[in-house]
Amino acid sequence: MPEPSLLSRRLIFLTGKGGVGKTTVAFALAQAAASSGRRTLVADLQGSGDTREVEVAPGLMHVSIDPQSAMEQYLSVQVPAPAAHLLRQSHLFAAFAMATPGMRELLCMGKFWELAQHERRTADAEPYDLVVVDAPASGHGAALLRAPRTFAEIARVGPIAHQARTIAQTFADPDFTAVLAVTTAEEMPVTETLELQDSLKRGPDPLKLHAVILNALYPRRFSDADTHTLEALRNRGRTSTELRTILDAALAEHARARSQERQEERLRLAFPDRLLTLPYLFEPELKLPQVALLAAELDAQLVGGN
Amino acid sequence: MSDHKHARAMGAEQLLAGRRICVCVGAGGVGKTTTAATLAIGMAMRGQKVVVVTIDPARRLAEALGLETLDNEPQRVFAPGSKRLNDAGLPDIKGELWAVMLDPKRTFDELIDRVSPSPERAAEIKRNGVYRQLSSAVAGSQEFTAIEKLYELAQEDYDLLVLDTPPAHSATEFLNAPGRLNAFLGGGALQALIRPTGLGMRLLGIGATPLLSALRLVTGVDLLTDLTRFLSLLGGMAGDFTARAARVEELLHADTTGFVLVTTAEDRPVQEAIAFRETLRASKMPFVGTIVNRVAPAIHAGTRAGLDGKLAADLADRLLACARDHEVLATRDRANIRRLREGLGEQPLLVVPDLDERLSDASGLFAMQQELFGD
């Protein structure tokens, strides 16, 4: 149900527990979109220092957002020149803005929003067809999504409140934005994904998880009967240590695959028709070639999706 | 496995020798919470009175420790002769293990109660919109209150405090967030900003009126009113926050405090660990060592020949493919551990093998304890 249209959204907001491979999945989604001719950007919050938009592959750009420079850009575009100049010069204002609860989050969300607009605010910036936000871990990610709404509530009136409301609406618009969770098939990340879905549903502006991407699924190479054979061989007296190590690896992998099946089942119950899966890659590192493999995998599931 | 021998020669006990506070830091998903609990159990077994502070979601940990729930106040988990240890067939411990699950909102409220001149003032602060937002925002308040809790527990009679840190999107976030909040709460800058004739304004040579009206233009009047109200409620307490922040800083830099880097041997966590090491160095935080979790066991896939006659051809093929895949991981982990040793300097590095599914109960934690502390 969600799949065919996923990549035609303008914004994909990706969150999930730390260590589940969010960044790799963000690039895989972006690569899938770029391969179908969409100018795509991956935006994350690791920003400190270099915050330019850099092309990493044809049609695939990357940027790191840094709240400080997001604020400077905001001021130069949104505030009349003399006042903006005054505020930019003021250390007090910088301290104020950076310390005000929710302000950093709002500035980041504002920047994501701006990146996804057809009419970019920033002079001579080219528009993107799709922006994939590689957001922080679930708790922080959900807080980030809520920041514009909460900020609008405390500020109530004035330009910031007005803009915060616009940004909140954009992120809550399912035609514009898809919120996705990435997880692995382990107990804690799955539990966090289910909780994320609940916490997004709450509040005045409920958000829905568009889909869940189940990452790093182990292969199911062996049947239960196979493992009995392997165990028997392992326990035979004459089996060499070297062979025993190999059998241990196979048995451990099988045990993990079985436990992953149980976690996958929990997800299938909660997200029927909204689950995409990616295999675990036995690779020394995950760079562009591996990302391309995962992108092809996602693409196949999106096209083949019902 | 040579890495293993290294772990045994230099165990977690030496890592924590002479330390009263142990802060576990690292990227998300590397097993920080489990590691913190394991270090705490290990030291409690060896006779210390230990408290471990964990951050949500730690329910599985509570279960592993045999508790229904964890609470914002320390609960005693194990003591000498604990029935729970006995029932699970686990060894007895000489010391005590206590556990806390951080509740940021409550910790924040309690801090306000403590520093407010009167209960009425405390109640009014807690009603303020800016405070409510501040104390319940996930980003920032977890980090701030984790350090607060640590400071609070340091005043009690524990031999060792082990802190599990919140899942930050970048490791340095944990070190920066408390400072940002303190700057806000005790911030002279903000006070000066609001006070029309503040010294800060005059020093900067900016008249208050244009700055304030520029600010009003950007933020909207109500936010400013709420903020002004909040800051005037904090009034004389700003000094307390600043003094407290200074004492917390001192505690974190003390030579009885040790930061333990937790990582896996995968690419990204390793990069982050090395970057975090730099941050600790730059901020002069005491770094005591690294724990590398979930390291793939050494394996040599060899050739089909060794399997001939032992297994059906098809199963032998799959077994060999599996072994080759795992050899890739084992080689990767070894290379990354070398990178860590080069990037992290002299401090010890302990390697823990992949214990996968076993870490869901107390006996799993005791198994990991053995790996970390050696026998």
- A24/A26 Cα distance (integer angstroms): 5
Prediction ipTM score: 0.89
Q: Is the pLDDT of residue A47 over 70?
A: no
Mark yes or no for CB contact A245/B220 under 8 Å: no
Residues in chain B predicted with pLDDT less than 50, given as ranges, are 1-8, 196-208
Mark yes or no for CB contact A249/B214 under 8 Å: no
* pLDDT tens per residue across span A236-261: 988 899 999 999 999 999 999 999 99
The neighbouring-strand residues paired with A61 are A41, A55
A interface test, pick of B25, B56, B223 with most A CB neighbours within 10 Å = B223
**List of chain A residues whose C-beta atoms are within 8 Å of the C-beta of residue B186:** none
Q: Does residue A225 lie within any of the structural domains?
A: no
- B231/B235 Cα distance (integer angstroms): 6
- A184/A199 Cα distance (integer angstroms): 20
Please state the rounded mean pLDDT for residues A106-121. 87
- A185/B264 Cα distance (integer angstroms): 18
Domain of B26?
2-185+241-298+348-373
Q: What is the pLDDT of residue B128?
A: 84
Q: What is the pLDDT of residue B351?
A: 94
Of the candidates B130, B170, B319, the beta carbon closest to that of A46 is on B170
Q: Which of A150-159, A199-208, B86-95 has the lowest mean pLDDT?
A: A150-159
**List of chain A residues whose C-beta atoms are within 8 Å of the C-beta of residue B294:** none
Domain of A157?
3-220+272-304
**List of chain B residues whose C-beta atoms are within 8 Å of the C-beta of residue A48:** 170
Q: Does residue B255 lie within any of the structural domains?
A: yes
The CATH number that applies at residue B117 is 3.40.50.300
Q: Does residue A147 lie within any of the structural domains?
A: yes
Q: Which of A123, A187, A262 is nearest to B60 (CA)?
A: A187
Looking up tokens 């903020």 gives B227
Transcribe B240-278 into DSSP letters.
HHHHHHHHHHHHHHSTTEEEEEEEESSHHHHHHHHHHHH
B139 to chain A: closest CA residue = A140
The CATH number that applies at residue A37 is 3.40.50.300
Mark yes or no for CB contact B211/A90 under 8 Å: yes
If 0-12 CB within 10 Å is exposed, 13-18 middle and 19+ buried, where does residue A95 land? buried
Mean pLDDT value across chain A = 87
* pLDDT tens per residue across span A166-179: 999 999 999 999 99
Q: Does residue A283 lie within any of the structural domains?
A: yes
Three-class DSSP category at B28: coil
B131 to chain A: closest CA residue = A101
Q: Does residue A108 lie within any of the structural domains?
A: yes
Identity of the residue numbered B310: K
- B220/B34 Cα distance (integer angstroms): 46
Of the candidates A19, A226, A259, the beta carbon closest to that of B29 is on A19
Structurally, chain B folds into a number of domains equal to 1
User: What is the 3-class SS of B298-344, one letter each residue?
Assistant: CCCCCCHHHHCCCCCHHHHHHHHHHHHHHHHHHHHHHHHHHHHHHHH
Q: Does residue A253 lie within any of the structural domains?
A: no
Q: What is the pLDDT of residue A136?
A: 82
Residue spans of alpha helices (H) in B155-286: 171-185, 188-194, 199-204, 208-219, 221-234, 238-253, 267-282
Q: Does residue B216 lie within any of the structural domains?
A: no
Q: What is the pLDDT of residue B1?
A: 41
Length of chain A equals 306
Q: Is the pLDDT of residue A110 over 70?
A: yes
- What is the number of other CB atoms lying within 10 angstroms of the CB of residue B334? 18
Q: Does residue B254 lie within any of the structural domains?
A: yes
Mark yes or no for CB contact B29/A283 under 8 Å: no
Q: What is the pLDDT of residue A1?
A: 42
Q: Is the pLDDT of residue A306 over 50?
A: no
Band the pLDDT of A154: cuts 50, 70, 90. Answer: confident
The helices-and-strands tally (H runs, E runs) of chain A is 12, 8
Q: Does residue B194 lie within any of the structural domains?
A: no
Whole-model pTM over 0.90: no
Task: Determine the distance from the C-alpha atom of residue A99 to the mean position of all C-alpha atoms in its chain, rounded to a whole number.
Answer: 26
Q: Does residue B220 lie within any of the structural domains?
A: no
Band the pLDDT of A142: cuts 50, 70, 90. Answer: confident
Task: Determine the distance from the C-alpha atom of residue B276 to the mean position of all C-alpha atoms in its chain, rounded to a whole number.
Answer: 13
DSSP percent split of chain A into helix, strand, coil, nearest 5:
55, 15, 30
Of the candidates A75, A154, A226, the beta carbon closest to that of B130 is on A154
Q: Does residue A257 lie within any of the structural domains?
A: no
Structurally, chain A folds into a number of domains equal to 1
Q: Does residue A137 lie within any of the structural domains?
A: yes
Of the candidates B57, B137, B328, the beta carbon closest to that of A284 is on B328
Q: Which of A48-52, A69-73, A215-219, B130-134 has the lowest mean pLDDT?
A: A48-52
How far is CA B256 from each of CA A247, B19, B156, B259, rounded to the nearest angstrom? Answer: 46, 4, 15, 10
Q: Does residue B63 lie within any of the structural domains?
A: yes
